[in-house]
Structure 1
Amino acid sequence: MPARKRWKSLPRAPKEFAEDIGLPKLIAQLVYNRHITRPDLIDDFFNETTAKLHNPYLLPGMGESVSRLTHAIRSEETIGVFGDFDVDGVTATAILSDGLTKLGASIAPYIPHRVSEGHGLNSEAIQALRASGTNLIITVDCGVTSHKEVLLASDLGMDVIITDHHTPPPNLPEALAVVNPKVQWSKYPFQELTGAGLAFKLIQGVYQHKGMPWPTDLLQLAALGTVADLAPLHNENRTIVREGLKGLSNSTRPGILALMRRVGRLGQPIDTETIAFGLAPRLNASGRLDHAITSYQLLTSESTIEATTLASQLEAFNQERRSLTEASYSIAKQKVSMEDDPPILVIGDESFIPGIAGLIASKLVDEFHRPAIVLSFEGDLARASARSISGFNMIEALSSCEDLFQKVGGHAMAAGFTAPRENIPEVNDRLNEIGRFALERVDLEPTLMVDAAASPSNLLGSTYEWLSKLEPHGVGNPKPIFFARSMNVLHSRTVGSEGQHLSLSLSDGQSTWKGIAFRQGDRHVHKEDTLDVIYNLTTNSFGNQNTIEMNIQDFRLSEN
């Protein structure tokens, strides 16, 4: 039985590296693999303190923003907070609304509908906010390309503060202030904050101006947005997520508690996997299938009864989302043709809906290891969600086709656009031409990068304690992947509603290990087979007991 992916070991750290930094050999290899090689960076990586949060006033536009917000609160103006429908946008909206409300501000939250409004400021929303008495709009997770909309707000007598982490254009909108660490003149020491991260920094700045401690529970929301938006977990993001996870594990927020109960983690330690696979999908589900305001209401609720009801609604949305995603992905796979070895997959179908197109694209990238664009159609209009791989900047590629789009935006790894349906064939041709050149030297074979060879039993004790210090894991700091040779199969069975996963009981010669191979239920394993296994360790919490298990990424029959 061959492996499903190619296995490739990361380069070994120089012998003197481990000796110089004073870490155990395996841990030294892991930090080396994550390009954390300078002593000061290593100290920062393992230093657990909120003192690592940077001064918010180093952000461009922070001083002007705080001054205007302070005046608005003192003058009892209505402040509109304009967000986005993904987890980053919803949590950013909740952070600003919650933090400013605690200071006595009057807040009018606004989250656009994914389909009828789309991402970013729009004229109808601005007019609605003005009609409700709003004098000041703060954008979160959007706005840096909204030139016409900002001018409209100004014409209607409203000031606009833009907080947006997306790459800004050369010419910025004529807003009162633009808080974005990526503008050319920024001196902020870290560029990769999310929308939720920037919202938190604005709250931090306002409270610092008032000489008050900022609400620490807002880090819980910032952690949710940072992990869900796949931001790199180093520098300030690492601090936000690490401290936010501590808060989530002991949260008293009714919405968080209701959500924890739904994912079976109430009273349990929370890690980034809990967010990525439990909390974030449920918070995203309302915006995918209905309206993201439900998730906002849950996160800001002060009522246990209300939060329980809202969490139940999100659970129902999430179940529907899962069913739709599986059915749609099956259709998408059938449409993939690898005969011409396209560098970029462009797949569309009448049955696809905008809310799950990004999920389908992500699954295509995981399986075929190349950029993917998934299209949904509404009459003559095509909406696209795009996901990419390392080595291909999706938003740069899409920007070169801007003349074919009505709207485009996003990041290097995730983006989207709307376009006339008749333009899609040319979009396909142009992007694949770009892809053939850009990906010429990029390996498109699915590959698992292995950190080190180690049997699971050798990762226990003090080694496991050191591994725990590497958390939180995510983009830029992935969970370590290990290679174990010649593990004996004691038992195997398929699990899941459709037998899509494979549960294994394995022996490494020292201990018996339970392992789960997700989405590998079609692979046939027999008792007494000997397998080479690529895996990472995970903690399974049930009741008051925590067990360490193997999360099996891939396996093959051992040669010996």
Structure 2
Amino acid sequence: MKYKQWHRAACPPGGRRAMEAAGIPPLAAMVLCARGLDTPEKAAAFLDSSLGQLRDPLLMKDMDKAAARVARALEAGETIAVYGDYDVDGITSTCLLTDFLRSEGGQVIPYIPDRMEEGYGLNTDALDTLQREGVSLVVTVDCGITAVEEADHARALGVDLVITDHHECKSRLPQAEAVVDPHRSDCPYPFKCLAGVGVALKLVLALGGPARQRELLERYADLAAVGTVADVMSLTGENRTIVRLGLEGLRRTRRPGLKALLREAGLEERPLTSGTIGYTLAPRINASGRMGRAALAGELLLTDSPARGEELAAELCQLNRDRQAIEAEIYEECEALAQALPQQQRYALVLAGEHWHQGVVGIVASRLADKYSCPAFMICLQDGKGKGSCRSFAGFNLFAALEHCAPLLEGFGGHELAAGFTIREENIPAFAQAMNDYVRAATGGEEMVSVLDIDAEVEDPGLLTLEGAESLDLLEPYGAGNPKPVFSLSGCLITALSEVGGGRHLKLKLAAGGRSFDAIFFSATAAQAAVAVGDRVDVAFTPQVNEYRGWRTVQLQVCDLRPALTRAQAERALYEKFRRGEALTPGEAEALLPSREEFVVLWRYLKGHAHPAPLEETAPRLARSIARSAGRRETVMRTLVCLEVFDERGLIRLERTTDHLHIALQAVEGKVDLEDSWILRRLREMRG
């Protein structure tokens, strides 16, 4: 198993039926119900990606001040610097605002700091340089919210500063002409999940006014979508609208460089989704910043020359290949370091090295967090100082953890799930201890485990048709806050398997419910998955449409496999699930619900064997004895449900220790109506 736990969400049958009655296809209805969107009204509100989702940018605190100061600079012909960040969000933010201001006649200098030489965010040397170049207004995008000292320095230089950002705020805000960040505690803006490029887009919309909204969205949604997806922002609310518009705009983008990059990455003829942005396009743009050449990606997105766009696109793709090679080397070294750590230092993985490439350690941290199921902190050392990148696991709040360890740090910033920090080398051991103590306390000493969230069990494999898989497009765009749907099929038979892609991936043929399915398990071999032809497995997967030589078929993209339970194990697991009070699928409830005849047969047996002395028995033996006496198959789980109902209605006194049962008949007066049983009512309600 790739994941230690599978967590299957509850899907109320009544909600699913109401959704299907409203015209939502079955698979999509199952996913929406599992995610709490269990009425047609809730589903419609979530799926809405119309322009009506977009809020007035002037609702954002200080947006009026920011727009007024920028408009004044445009009118007066001031030189404006747009100061960004070297990741995809920062680069797209910089290019979006630069392009707009230039189109309005502005004198604009885009500035993206060098990751290796300058690090993240505003720095005083850059402000000095921009002031000497005649800049009188600096507008930050995707950075600046923690730049208190740098803002004071800009003021001392006589340079006005407008900050637009989306990162978490500290208690003290920089002193600037305007500080625009939806995470400000005093900001009433209702949607807090905008990316840095989303906030930059809002500034552009505020400058353009309501009359130009559609025009400006059509012009800049492509850049906004790329930055939003790349920064793993929640694809709900406004972000669904921004990304939907951006995906439509990407295919017909007028940016020569972006068009060339789509072609160089092999996306020219393929459908464009949030997945193609996140896994194919964004890494190539990101590679420029990671390798210390962010200006290349900035030039690519701003160039008007198709020829130059082709050159830059090829260069970015090569940089991405270089990044992958360096990342593989560092990851291999870090695995050895992690394995050498004692268990008490694995609540939070803190690793440091002198020769690591600062631009790729964030990716390595993410991979380590997934592998070791804990937050990971990677620190690049040079001259006694360390620059750190960290990634979360299981939603752990990194920003709060770094705040707790702030006395040991020189500085920090970022999100709950990804952050950066600086630290002196001599403080690293104390930091590692403090962070491990903090994580251990936050988790109650429990080991974090990898959990796969499954939306629903597919009880009818007949739903997995080409039409069914295509119907899930209704839920696009996928991303944070709206992940790809994951379903499960139980008891599938592996009828064929082979390793493909140079032995890196596992191709399977699965049989379930009289149907056969092709499946692909990426980055897994037969040995790693521990499977062979003839095995029965439970499969967690995402249905997708596979196109090959003009044929379109359903393929199951496997997320995980696990050995299927035996019938007895499956029955016991289902019964225990019911006893824990968890919601059941309609099929599970049906399987647990005893018939009237089963109650009658069991009661007759108990009257003959539990009187006058109580009956001492195990559940499996009791079920087998009843089956023999009735000449029919009885299940352990339904036998146990019958006993629970008898106990609830006062007919017996039931005591259980694991499988051992102590059953004593109780004296009752008059008739007892089993139909009044709360247990039966609950099962029938879940059965629908």
1:67-216 equivalent positions in 2, closer than 5 A: 67-208=68-209, 213-216=215-218
Question: Of 344, 369, 372, which aligns to 1:365?
Answer: 369
Query: For residue 8 of structure 1, what is the amino acid of its counterpart?
Result: W
Aligned-residue offset at 1:48? 3.5
Question: Of 370, 376, 382, which aligns to 2:386?
Answer: 382
Decide whether aligned partners of structure 1 residues 519 and 227 sit closer, same or farther in structure 2, where only a CA change above 3 A counts.
farther
Q: Does 1:532 find its partner at 2:538?
A: yes
Residues 268, 541 of structure 1: 8 Å contact kept: no
Q: Does 1:407 find its partner at 2:411?
A: yes
Aligned-residue offset at 1:285? 0.7
The structure number with the bigger radius of gyration is 2
Q: What are the Cα deviations for residues 442-485 of structure 1, in whole angstroms up to 9, with x where unaligned?
A: 66121212111227652335533431111111111111111123
Decide whether aligned partners of structure 1 residues 29 and 400 sit closer, same or farther in structure 2, where only a CA change above 3 A counts.
same
Query: For residue 102 of structure 1, what is the amino acid of its counterpart?
Result: S
Bigger shift: 175-184 or 501-510? 501-510
Residues 91, 224 of structure 1: 8 Å contact kept: yes
Decide whether aligned partners of structure 1 residues 298 and 229 sit closer, same or farther in structure 2, where only a CA change above 3 A counts.
same
Bigger shift: 251-260 or 114-123? 251-260
Aligned-residue offset at 1:542? 6.4
Q: Does 1:472 find its partner at 2:491?
A: no
Q: Which residue of 1 aligns with 2:518?
A: 513
Residues 49, 240 of structure 2: 8 Å contact kept: no
Instruction: Name the Cα RMSD after superposition.
Output: 2.3
Bigger shift: 197-206 or 298-307? 298-307
Q: Distance in 2 between the 1:53 and 1:544 partners? A: 39
Question: Of 409, 431, 435, which aligns to 1:431?
Answer: 435
Question: Of 550, 555, 558, which aligns to 1:552?
Answer: 558
Bigger shift: 550-559 or 295-304? 550-559
Percent identity over the alignment?
35
Q: What are the Cα deviations for residues 170-216 of structure 1, in whole angstroms up to 9, with x where unaligned?
A: 22111000111111221111011110110111111111177573151
Q: What are the Cα deviations for residues 56-108 of structure 1, in whole angstroms up to 9, with x where unaligned?
A: 11111111111111121121111100000011100110110112211111110
Q: Distance in 2 between the 1:542 and 1:307 partners? A: 31
Q: What are the Cα deviations for residues 370-389 of structure 1, in whole angstroms up to 9, with x where unaligned?
A: 11111221121111111112
Q: What are the Cα deviations for residues 356-377 of structure 1, in whole angstroms up to 9, with x where unaligned?
A: 1111110011112211111221
Q: Does 1:394 find its partner at 2:398?
A: yes
Bigger shift: 426-435 or 487-496? 487-496
Aligned-residue offset at 1:116? 1.1
Q: What are the Cα deviations for residues 99-127 of structure 1, in whole angstroms up to 9, with x where unaligned?
A: 22111111100001112111110001101
**Matched position secondary structure for 1:295:** helix
Decide whether aligned partners of structure 1 residues 522 and 283 sit closer, same or farther in structure 2, where only a CA change above 3 A counts.
farther
Q: Which residue of 1 aligns with 2:270?
A: 268
**Matched position secondary structure for 2:492:** strand
Residues 469, 544 of structure 2: 8 Å contact kept: no
Q: Does 1:17 find its partner at 2:15?
A: yes
**Matched position secondary structure for 1:348:** strand
Q: Does 1:340 find its partner at 2:343?
A: yes
Query: For residue 489 of structure 1, what is the amino acid of its counterpart?
Result: I
Aligned-residue offset at 1:501? 2.6
Q: Distance in 1 between the 2:217 and 2:240 partners? A: 19
Q: Which residue of 2 aligns with 1:307?
A: 309
Residues 99, 215 of structure 1: 8 Å contact kept: no
Decide whether aligned partners of structure 1 residues 516 and 390 sit closer, same or farther in structure 2, where only a CA change above 3 A counts.
closer
Q: Distance in 1 between the 2:27 and 2:89 partners? A: 35
Q: How many residues align?
A: 557
Decide whether aligned partners of structure 1 residues 472 and 160 sit closer, same or farther in structure 2, where only a CA change above 3 A counts.
same
Decide whether aligned partners of structure 1 residues 244 and 170 sit closer, same or farther in structure 2, where only a CA change above 3 A counts.
same
Decide whether aligned partners of structure 1 residues 542 and 217 sit closer, same or farther in structure 2, where only a CA change above 3 A counts.
farther
Residues 365, 388 of structure 1: 8 Å contact kept: yes
Aligned-residue offset at 1:273? 1.1
Q: Which residue of 2 aligns with 1:64?
A: 65
Give structure 2 stretches of 5+ with no counterpart. Answer: 567-688
Aligned-residue offset at 1:320? 1.0
Query: For residue 468 of structure 1, what is the amino acid of its counterpart?
Result: D
Query: For residue 472 of structure 2, what is the amino acid of its counterpart?
Result: L
Decide whether aligned partners of structure 1 residues 461 and 492 sit closer, same or farther in structure 2, where only a CA change above 3 A counts.
closer
**Matched position secondary structure for 1:216:** helix
Aligned-residue offset at 1:506? 3.6
Q: Distance in 1 between the 2:365 and 2:216 partners? A: 39
Decide whether aligned partners of structure 1 residues 456 and 480 sit closer, same or farther in structure 2, where only a CA change above 3 A counts.
farther
Query: For residue 15 of structure 1, what is the amino acid of its counterpart?
Result: P
Q: Distance in 2 between the 1:105 and 1:120 partners? A: 23
Question: Of 478, 498, 501, which aligns to 1:493?
Answer: 498
Aligned-residue offset at 1:19? 4.3
Decide whether aligned partners of structure 1 residues 373 and 232 sit closer, same or farther in structure 2, where only a CA change above 3 A counts.
same
Q: Distance in 2 between the 1:506 and 1:19 partners? A: 29
Q: Distance in 2 between the 1:11 and 1:390 partners? A: 17
Residues 496, 508 of structure 2: 8 Å contact kept: yes
Aligned-residue offset at 1:416? 1.2
Q: Distance in 1 between the 2:549 and 2:85 partners? A: 36
Decide whether aligned partners of structure 1 residues 413 and 241 sit closer, same or farther in structure 2, where only a CA change above 3 A counts.
same
Q: Distance in 2 between the 1:515 and 1:246 partners? A: 29
Query: For residue 348 of structure 1, what is the amino acid of its counterpart?
Result: A
Q: What are the Cα deviations for residues 406-430 of structure 1, in whole angstroms up to 9, with x where unaligned?
A: 2211111111111111110000011
Decide whether aligned partners of structure 1 residues 511 and 444 sit closer, same or farther in structure 2, where only a CA change above 3 A counts.
same
Decide whether aligned partners of structure 1 residues 361 and 521 sit closer, same or farther in structure 2, where only a CA change above 3 A counts.
farther
Q: What are the Cα deviations for residues 234-291 of structure 1, in whole angstroms up to 9, with x where unaligned?
A: 1111111121112113323212221111221103221111111101111111111122
**Matched position secondary structure for 1:283:** helix
Aligned-residue offset at 1:32? 3.2
**Matched position secondary structure for 1:549:** strand
Question: Of 348, 351, 357, which aligns to 1:353?
Answer: 357
Decide whether aligned partners of structure 1 residues 442 and 295 sit closer, same or farther in structure 2, where only a CA change above 3 A counts.
farther
**Matched position secondary structure for 2:207:** helix
**Matched position secondary structure for 1:354:** coil
Structure number with the higher helix fraction is 2
Bigger shift: 340-349 or 488-497? 488-497
Residues 7, 450 of structure 1: 8 Å contact kept: no
Residues 518, 556 of structure 2: 8 Å contact kept: yes
Query: For residue 16 of structure 2, what is the amino acid of its counterpart?
Result: A
TM-score scaled by length of structure 2: 0.77
Aligned-residue offset at 1:489? 3.4
Query: For residue 6 of structure 2, what is the amino acid of its counterpart?
Result: K
Q: Which residue of 1 aligns with 2:654?
A: none
